[in-house]
Structure formats: structure tokens, C-alpha cells
Structure 1
Amino acid sequence: MGKFKKLLYLTGVFFLASALALSAGAEFAGSETGARTEARQADLDYLYTNLKERHPDIYANTPESAFLTRKAEIESRLDTDSNAAYILDLQSLVALIEDSHTQLSISSIAEESRFYPFALNWFDGQWILSAAETARQDLIGAQVTAINGLPMAQVLQRFSIISSADNQVKLRRDFRQSCNAEELYRYTGVVSGDAPLILTLRDSAGQEKDLALNATDSAGLNQLSVAKLSDARKSTPKTAQNSTYYSAMALDGNAYYIQYNKCAEDPELPMETFCARIQAALDAGRYQRVLVDLRNNGGGSDGVIVPLLMLLREELDTTGLQVTALVGEGTFSSGIINAVELQEMGCVLAGEATSGSVDHFGAVNVFQLPNSGLKAQVSSKYIALSGIFDAAAGKGVEPLIPDVVIPQTLKDYMDGRDTCVEKLLADPAGIKPENRASAPLTRSRFIAMLYDAAGSPKQTPEQLPFSDLFGIEWYLPALSWAKDSAVAAGTGSDAFSGARIMTWQEAAVFLVRTVQAINPAPEDMTGSTPPEALLAGAWDEEAIRSAWKWGLLPLNADFTVPPTRAQGEAMAEALHQAK
């Protein structure tokens, strides 16, 4: 099937997560309080109006009344807010959308903010102190359980007011990347007055102690002697993130590794050239598996990866190569799309939950506030991968959870080991797709089940069976068989709508057509009448009655809700037995 080529551009707009860092807001024109308040009001109105006009569904997660209440709160302190507090006020309004791609640039507050000398990281499901002043380096690696008496879960909840995160992994990542900014703690009420920031730490022996931190400006912070967790690492694994857009290398005689960090064409190494090098390496070696690492891919243009997907599809079809994709907290935006595409090819996902959501708003546009010069980016469309790919069926605005969860452990990090890669190499037989038996059954997956029940007759099509296929799907042979054998004719305009959730009536029709295609003579298994819920609104009552009497439909199913994958397997097995 690898010969079929079709571009996969889902977002249609180039997006980089770092875009906001490039935009800094200017201080408001006019020194008089009245002029400043008027300018702030104008920017606030402009921001809200543009969010309403540009965003595809601004009230998807938060009612309009909450926006108006928040806007009124901001207006009540326009003349008293500091510049930093006002900017965070604006971002708190944007954050109500709960869209990770829609946010205001707050980078300019760094010019007037102070910082605490520490950093955090996330290992083993815990917050770990990963940097501190050299005098307190004995505490580095300890678990941070609370800040100013608030458990870490409550600290994150406080920070959620200014985070545009649409899931908890993204919120955690946002907090980690800004966890030393004093202004954020003051705005969220974690710290007040001149009180220090107090971290509650628990060491490996279970002993608790406090670390009191005072904030300093950026110049003072740069003068401090700071120790980092990374300084104590024994080594760095060769699969650690590098500075390239994409790179590849052999890990050993059996495994080949591809690191894909940025959904963009490298001006020094076009993707087609890169893929030619990979093809040459695969042809020359005897690799049994390929790892595609998306753990640090924050997005870009989802279509750049197409040549690589087509290359891997060809290898899967012709050599039986095993392909595993790696995802993690850093996988976001178009990186999520590419990860789901790899799943759609039949590849297993391994690693950790992503900060990007499966279904998400995206395809951003940028606009600028007229007085402050602050820039905002706003999504222009909703990208529902669950309606495009079988691999995303039943998922929504939630992190992409890999089939095999393999977190990076703190011990392995310190030893210079890549936990995920090493476990994958050590146990290739244990890497299997998640069953997801309770997930909704899609049209494409059910056809694949019927194809297996029919004996998986060999397919050698010269073109894609339906117009809405990409050419990479694991179930392509099944759809070619279904079309050629008249089991499935599509949904119009030569499309198939493979990600659409099956109805019970569609299942009955496909089952009966499969019976007709393989020419069995099934016996009547029941003389009862199909339930009314199954017959209601039937457009092919004869197929329903035939599938029912042949025992191909489950007797005790709830026919008021769509079938699950497990029920699809049961129907396919009943068909197999009926042969």
C-alpha cells in the first residue's frame, strides 16, 4: 500500500509554540492615570472582541457570563493594577477559553518581575527540585510536596487561572516552565507581602524540611551560583533531544532510531533527502524495528512528515518492519497529529501522556493590542482527530495516552539512561497496541474485523479504494476487499468515512453482505424477533432480520448506544463460526 501518496495537512497553518516568546508588549502610552486607564480599557475591549470574532467556539468550555464577570473584575482595577498584574489579568480572561493554542504574550512582564532561585522537574509522578543555589545543592533531587503550605495539586489549581491549558499535562508543563517567577505567585495568591517562598521538601529517607527562597531580579539571579540536577548525571543517553529538526541513527544491529523534533522542513536537509538516507540505511541493514521519537515535538506543519510516513508504510507492507512511536509531555499540536497518524498506520505508541490534546483548537492567527502592543494568538479552527482517524475514536480534548506507558524514571535519568528506549529494546515482544475494548467501534475497524473473519484474502489494488483515505492506514487491504466484494460501497462521492462510529444497523448490513460475499449457508440460530430498538428507523430491515436470525448480532446488547470494539470482535467471531 506504500505506493499510494496523499498529503496529510490537517491544521493548514504553520504553528510554533515558541511564537509568543518573540512578542513583547510595550508600556502604555501616557503617564496620567486617566490616560492609562482609558488605554487599558480599549485594549481589554479589543482583546475580548477579537477573541469572540476570531475563535471558532469561544464559549465551548466556559459560559459567556463567566467571561463578562471576569471582564468586569478586570475593569474594576484598571487604574490600580501594576503593568504586570494587568497583563496577567488579560491572560486570565483568555485562559477561560481553555484552549492551549489561544493565549496572550506575557513575556514582557519578565522585565519587571523577580525570580526565585530554583527549578522543578517531573519524575516518577512527583515534583522534584532540579535546581537551587549551590549552598543548598544537598536538597536537589528531593521531592517538593508543597509551596507556602499549599499541596502541589492546589498550587497548580491556583496557576490554572492564568494557564490556557486544555488538559492537566499541559497545565503541569506550563507551571514547570514558569515556576520561579515571583509575579505569578503573587497574582495567584500563593505568596503575599515580603514573605519568602517556602518549598516543603521530602528526601529519599522520607524526612521533610523547608527551603525558604527570596526573589531577586534577573540581573541578581544571573549572579547567583546555581547547581542543577543535570550536573550530577553520570552521562547523557544518545537518544537525548538534539538541536536538529530531525535526525536518524542505528541504535544497534536490530533497531533504527529517528528523532523528529520539529514539524518543519530543515532548510539544510529537506525531508525528501532525509528519507532517502533512511531508506538507504534500512536497505543496507537488517533492522527489525524502527523507533520514531516525537517526545520533544512541539508542533509546526503536520504535513512535513508525509514522505517519512510513506516510507514507513512501504517498509511495513514489504518487510514486516516493526515501528514504534515515542511520545511524551513535550508532544504538542502537530506533533500530536503525527503521533495519531503513526497509530493509524498500526504503529504502537510508547512513552508518557502528552501535553497536547487529541482533539484540540488550533491553526492559529495572531493579532496585536493597539495600545500596549501585546500580541495574542487565537485558534481559527477545531481539529477533531477523533472524527478523522480510527486511532483517535472515542478520545476528545484529552492527552494522548500511549499504548504502552513507560515513564522516564529519576534513577535512570541520573544514570544517563533513556527508560523508554531501553525497555523497548529489551522487550520487543511486549510492545502491543492497547486493546481499548470499550472504545466505540468505527466503520473502518469493523470492516477490518470482517476481513479477518473472511480469511484476509490477498489484495493487490492499484489505487486507493476510497477518496478520503490517506494511503497509510493499517486497514487499507480490508477496505479494498470490502469495496471489491461489495461489502461496503462508501458514503457518497467515493468516500468511506472510516472514522465514523458504527451504528447497529450498519453492522447488520456489513455482516449480511459479508455472508453473501463468502457464500456460506448460515443456519438460523433463533426464531425470535429483533428488538424494537434495533428496528427503529431501519433503512434495511431485511438485513437486520437476517443478521439477527443467523446469530450474528449479540442477543443482550443495548441497541440504544453504538457498538464497542469488543462487541465488534464478537460479531466478527460469530460470522467466522457461521462459515
Structure 2
Amino acid sequence: MKAVKQFLRRGAASFLAAALLCTAVLAAETEKTKAEQRREDLEFLYQTVLVENHPDVFANTPESEFLTLKQDIESRLETESDVEFLLDLIRLTALVGDSHTMISVGGAAEFRCYPFSLILRDGGWYLSTLPAAEQSSLGKRVAAINGLSMEKVLEAFAPLLPADNPVMLARRFRQDCQIADIYEYLGLAKAGEALTLTLEGGRKLALEPVSYAALQEAELAYLSDRITKAPATAAADAYYFAKPLNQNTYYIQYNTCQEAEDLSMEDFAALVQADLDAGSYDRVLLDLRNNGGGSDGVVWPLLEVLRSSMDRGCELVGLIGPATFSSALINAVEIQEMGGVLAGESAGGSVSHFGAVQGFSLPNCGARGQLSSKYIDLNTLLDAGAGRGVTALEPDVSLPQTLADTLNGRDTAVEWLLAHREKLAQKAYPDAPLTRGRFIGQLYEAAGSPAVDGELPPFQDSFGIEWFLPALTWAKGAGIANGAADGTFSAARSITWQEAAVFLTRAAGEDKVPNPAADRRGPLPAALAEGGHRDAVTRAWDLGLLPEQADFTKTPTRAQGLEMAKALSALLK
């Protein structure tokens, strides 16, 4: 099992090969002009960083668009400002369409800012920072910026923002929405002029751009200052902590995918185990809403404790939100793999995504950034990720934080969970590809979920936390699923109709005799006859265990798996 865990484990961010960082050796014998230095930086970014080191740089944008923008940037190397050049590089990098691959704003140029910030709540953008003289407008909803709706402003910002889903796009916008140079670069504001915010109701605020240094000295008012109390689940200055919220609910906050120096994850998991053993909790909340990533394998000792608790009847609920990203996103999908439910808001991270970042810097302007080094395809690594691809991870139970609760120091999601004790359920995703592991789980339930007695995990490539782990043990012990010669099973791989037929007929037993008049009418479809296992396919068809109207040229879906399991259950009665 340790070897399997290591397969998903990713280390903390590292630097690229020495060629990307040892920039000092690039100095020429004669001094270069600024345009020459910029050309060198541009070429280094495009060719060495993106083309040669990104795992699939043209996955989302064709090469022709990169080259067109690169040529456009080259045409103004001698005339544009340092800020404009940096924004050009940021825009070129954002074409990758990868939330992890980016160039940092700042450091290589002096940006100016407007004195405001926004918070996204209740489906709208609200003012969270303003000059003290305008503090009466804090908490007001912004309807437009310089006459453009917020949707249009976000659309205009999108080419500069590294994001692979709308949730991350909004999060990146919130981080950069006050940068005056971006509005000017995008043609949303005239150089040096005030930015006009139109509030809901029609009132307008005009904000002048200032330097970052001046902004630090300005007298500002903050919406957060109006919050007089914090919920028990407020983000703590700790890697992780745990405590009971009441006699039924145990709460764990996991804020970064790293081990604390003063408390290893093994020791922390042991403390959680002791608390769970001593209490009578029927629900555990694992909060990933403040976790932006790190190394996804760090949490495994805790997941093993929670798996044991679930086996004793405790419900696991993972909390996610826009800040849930990278390794924490993987951990959230692992919660679903365990059979747990996700609650809260859609995550900033996508189910499948580029990641495992490495750092880089450009040789002349000093701009720094990070680059993905691999594609993490949870669509094929975990049953819970099957069929979802590069899309924001959605909660099974949507519980968005409201602005009113934020200002009143209340945690919308947790308060709802404390008030609702009913058993929660995952989203069905009926059209998702049916995996081998899930189908065995469906057959196990169709057989009445008999008690299992065997080795856990039953196959070498089992993670040891899957919700269908008892089903795999049952299937192996009953001779329904034997696995490969090397002891693996490939539970996350999509099942074929032929494999489904083999599992079905073995589960049905040899004593079941087909009754064509009652079970099936018509010949075996040609698509089923191809691909091997002809005897099992024919018998499953004659027993009425395969759906008669299915398109057998396509991969079975979860809904079709349930239909086959239902047919098996009826046959076994």
C-alpha cells in the first residue's frame, strides 16, 4: 500500500533544471540594449520554459496563437514600458490555460493600484477595502467598473489570468482587480485617470491610481474590521488542528499539505484517533477550504484513521471552497473515493489538472514564475474522478458562504451541517464512465453486501481507503474478480462490456439457467460479440443481465452499471 500511496505523492515545489535558473552565465561579452534583453527574455520564456519544459503547452491553445502573440510582443520591444512588457509576458504565459503555470505580478516592474478590493459573495462582487473617506460604501455590491458590467470586466481580464476553470478565474481576478496598470493595458481605463465604480443603486465612486508605496501609507477602511467575532471554524494559524464541535460532530482543519515541525502528521492522526475512540461522534468534518496545496501524500495517515472511523459507521464530510487547490484538491477527491461527501462551494482547483510546479526566473528582467511539470489525471487515477476531467471540483452539497454570515462571524456551511443530521449523499454523475472498482461495488450491494473475511486491501494496487474495498475483498474471495497475474486489479480503469459480463456471470453462479422467453429476446448484438469472453457475454445476454437498449460500442456508464446490478439482484432472488 505504501508503494501505491507514493504513486500519488508529490513533493513540494522545486526549481527547474539548472538551465532555467543559472541566468548569470547568459551575460554577453558586450552590453545588450534593453530591446535585446527583452527579446532574450521572451525567447527564453517561450522556448525554454514553456515549449521545452511544460508537459503539454498547446493542450488548450494552438501553437499559432502563441506565435501570433509572441510576434506582436516582438514588434514593440523597443517602445513599451517595463510594466507593459511584464504584462505581455504574463499574457503569453496565460495562454497555456493552466492554473499552476504563471508569471508573478510585481518584482520586475512597479505597478500602481486603485485603493479598493473586492470579495465575491452571494453571486456578486462587494467592496471589502476603500479609502477611509468612502467607508460608508463598504459591503456594497459593485454593478460596473468604468461602465462595464462585472461580467464584462472579468471577461476582459481573462487573457491575463492563469486559470483552467471559472472559479479560479474569479479568484485570480479578485487578487488583481485593484492593479491600475492592468486596466490601462486592457484598454478599460485611460492612463492616469480615475476608475469609476458604479454601485448597486446607482451611486458612483471615483478612485485615483496611486503607487504601491503610497497605497501602503494611505488611510484605508476594511470590511473585515466590522466583523466582531469569529466562528469556531475560523482559519487558524496552524497547518492542522482538530476539536469537537458538539457531542456528535468532530472537526478537523487542514490548512496546508505540509507536515508541521512540532507535530508530525502521524502523531496528529494518532491524536485524532484517540479523540474519535473516546467520543461518540457520528460525523467528522475535514475542512480543506483554506488549503492551497503542497504535497498530497502528507494527509494519508489521517485518511487511514478516518477510513477506520467510517468502517465503524461514522460519516465523513469534506469542506471545500474557492481556495481549495492543487494537492488539497486531490485530497478532496480522495475523500469522495472513500465514500465521503463534499460540502461547501466549488473548488478553485480542477479535478484533473496540470501541477507539480517548478520555479523559473527570466535572465534579464528578473521576472519569476512557476511551471507545471506533469498532468495529474484523476479521471484515470481515482474512481471518484472518472469522467470529470478539467473542471472545477463541485461539492455534493452546495453550501456557499453568505456575506451576512461572514459579517456576523458565522460559518454558513458548518452551521447547516450541525443543524442537519440526515445522512448525506454524493452526486450521482450517472453518465460518468463505469470503473471496474465501482461495478464490483454495485454487484456487492446487489448480492446483499455479505460480510467479508479476507486480506485488506485485496489487490496490490488498492489504496486501502476506497469505499468499495470490502466489495473487492468479497469479489476476490468469491472468485468473481481475480485480478491480473501481478496481483493488481486496476479499479479506476473504465470497465468494458466484456469484463462486465464476466463479473456478472461469475456473480450469478453456474446454477442459473437462461430462459430466453423471459430473460432476453433477439440475437447477441455484434458489438458484444467482439472483444473476447464470448461465452460469458453470451450467457450474460441470455440471462438478461446486460441492458438490451445499450450502445455497446461505448463505455458503460455508472447508470448502466446500476441497471446491470439491479438485474443481477432480481436474478439472485
| TM-score using structure 2 length | 0.94
Do the aligned partners of 1:4 and 1:464 also contact (CA within 8 Å) in 2?
Answer: no
User: Which of these residues, 379, 383, 386, is aligned with residue 379 of structure 2?
Assistant: 386
Q: Distance in 2 between matches of 1:567 and 1:259?
A: 38
Q: Distance in 2 between matches of 1:303 and 1:421?
A: 26
Per-residue deviation at 1:11? 5.0
Per-residue deviation at 1:220? 2.1
* Deviation >3 Å, runs of 4+: 3-6, 519-524
Q: Distance in 2 between matches of 1:395 and 1:67?
A: 27
Q: Distance in 2 between matches of 1:282 and 1:116?
A: 49
User: Which of these residues, 305, 309, 317, is aligned with residue 315 of structure 1?
Assistant: 309
Per-residue deviation at 1:87? 1.0
The change in CA–CA distance for 1:151 and 1:305 in structure 2 (over 3 A counts) is: same
Q: Report the counterpart of residue 58 of structure 1 in structure 2.
A: 57
Q: Report the counterpart of residue 394 of structure 2 in structure 1.
A: 401
Q: Distance in 1 between matches of 2:14 and 2:123?
A: 28
Cα distance per residue 1:512-560 (max 9 Å; x no partner): 111127x54554312420222322x230122222111111111112222
Structure 1 segment 453-464 matched on structure 2, within 5 A: 453-464=446-457
Residue segments in structure 2 that go unaligned for 5+ positions in a row: 16-20
Do the aligned partners of 1:11 and 1:363 also contact (CA within 8 Å) in 2?
Answer: no
Q: 1:141 and 2:139 equivalent?
A: yes
Q: Distance in 2 between matches of 1:16 and 1:281?
A: 36
Q: 1:325 and 2:318 equivalent?
A: yes
* CA RMSD between the two structures: 2.3
The change in CA–CA distance for 1:287 and 1:70 in structure 2 (over 3 A counts) is: same
Structure 1 segment 135-284 matched on structure 2, within 5 A: 135-202=133-200, 207-284=201-278
Structure 1 segment 431-470 matched on structure 2, within 5 A: 431-470=424-463
Do the aligned partners of 2:287 and 2:318 also contact (CA within 8 Å) in 1?
Answer: yes
Q: Distance in 2 between matches of 1:29 and 1:162?
A: 30
Between 1:154-163 and 1:398-407, the stretch displaced more is 154-163
Do the aligned partners of 1:169 and 1:354 also contact (CA within 8 Å) in 2?
Answer: yes
Q: Report the counterpart of residue 122 of structure 1 in structure 2.
A: 120
Do the aligned partners of 1:115 and 1:216 also contact (CA within 8 Å) in 2?
Answer: yes
Q: Distance in 2 between matches of 1:42 and 1:139?
A: 47
The SS at the match of 1:429 is coil
- The one-letter code sitting in structure 2 at the alignment partner of 1:247 is F
The SS at the match of 1:208 is coil
Q: 1:516 and 2:514 equivalent?
A: no
Q: Report the counterpart of residue 20 of structure 1 in structure 2.
A: none
Q: Distance in 1 between matches of 2:229 and 2:3?
A: 42
Do the aligned partners of 2:14 and 2:359 also contact (CA within 8 Å) in 1?
Answer: no
- The one-letter code sitting in structure 1 at the alignment partner of 2:567 is A
Do the aligned partners of 1:523 and 1:578 also contact (CA within 8 Å) in 2?
Answer: no
Q: Report the counterpart of residue 78 of structure 1 in structure 2.
A: 77
Give the percent of matched residue pairs that are identical in Structure 1 and Structure 2.
Answer: 50
Per-residue deviation at 1:364? 1.6
Q: Distance in 2 between matches of 1:272 and 1:46?
A: 43
Do the aligned partners of 1:119 and 1:131 also contact (CA within 8 Å) in 2?
Answer: yes
Residue segments in structure 1 that go unaligned for 5+ positions in a row: 18-22
The SS at the match of 2:203 is strand
Aligned length: 561
Cα distance per residue 1:26-59 (max 9 Å; x no partner): 9x999x9971000110111111112111111111
User: Which of these residues, 533, 536, 539, is aligned with residue 532 of structure 2?
Assistant: 539
User: Which of these residues, 269, 289, 292, is aligned with residue 295 of structure 1?
Assistant: 289
Cα distance per residue 1:61-99 (max 9 Å; x no partner): 111111110100110010111111111111111111111
Q: Distance in 2 between matches of 1:254 and 1:6?
A: 33
Do the aligned partners of 1:29 and 1:36 also contact (CA within 8 Å) in 2?
Answer: no
User: Which of these residues, 510, 514, 529, is aligned with residue 523 of structure 2?
Assistant: 529
Q: Report the counterpart of residue 18 of structure 2 in structure 1.
A: none
Q: Distance in 1 between matches of 2:315 and 2:440?
A: 23
Q: Distance in 2 between matches of 1:491 and 1:44?
A: 50
Do the aligned partners of 1:292 and 1:323 also contact (CA within 8 Å) in 2?
Answer: yes
Cα distance per residue 1:333-371 (max 9 Å; x no partner): 000011111111111000100111110111122222222
Structure 1 segment 543-558 matched on structure 2, within 5 A: 543-558=536-551
The change in CA–CA distance for 1:129 and 1:383 in structure 2 (over 3 A counts) is: same
The change in CA–CA distance for 1:321 and 1:383 in structure 2 (over 3 A counts) is: same
